[in-house]
Amino acid sequence: VVEAYKQGLRPAVGYELNPWLLCLSNYRAWKAGYHGKVSFLKKDLWKVNLSDCYNVIVFLAPSVKPPLAAKLLAELPDEARVVAGRFPFPSWTPSSTLGRGLEQVWAYDMKEVRRAARSGAGGSPG
């Protein structure tokens, strides 16, 4: 979230249910000098409406990617970009990638993901 803010993405908001991770995130933002500039909210990602989000960054296990892909396809606008860290969305074709190994990220443009889903090539929710 802090890095997203540094890159000019506003608002920069993170969602976390685990109170310890929420505290850690707020502490790290404060320590880095970003207190009050970024937000971490105790909310369930599955219950948050993402329809007004244009940049989504996720660091989640592969088992969570299929249901998350369905949620993102249903809620995000065509202009949205999704960046996945550590693990890609298995059935989506990335617009770009950066890094290697544990530092690799995959970027997906929702318009392209939807186009591929409609054509039956690499855009299914899984």
DSSP labels, 4-30: HHHTT-SS-EEE---HHHHHHHHHHHH
pLDDT score recorded for residue 23: 96
Q: Is 122's pLDDT higher than 60?
A: no
Q: Report whether 25 contacts 18 (CB < 8 A).
A: no
> 34 and 88: one domain?
no
Digit-coded pLDDT (tens) for 39-71: 999 999 999 999 999 999 998 889 999 999 999
Domain range for residue 59? Answer: 50-120
User: CA–CA separation, 88 vs 119, rounded Å?
Assistant: 20
Same domain, 105 and 78: yes
Q: What is the pTM of this model?
A: 0.83
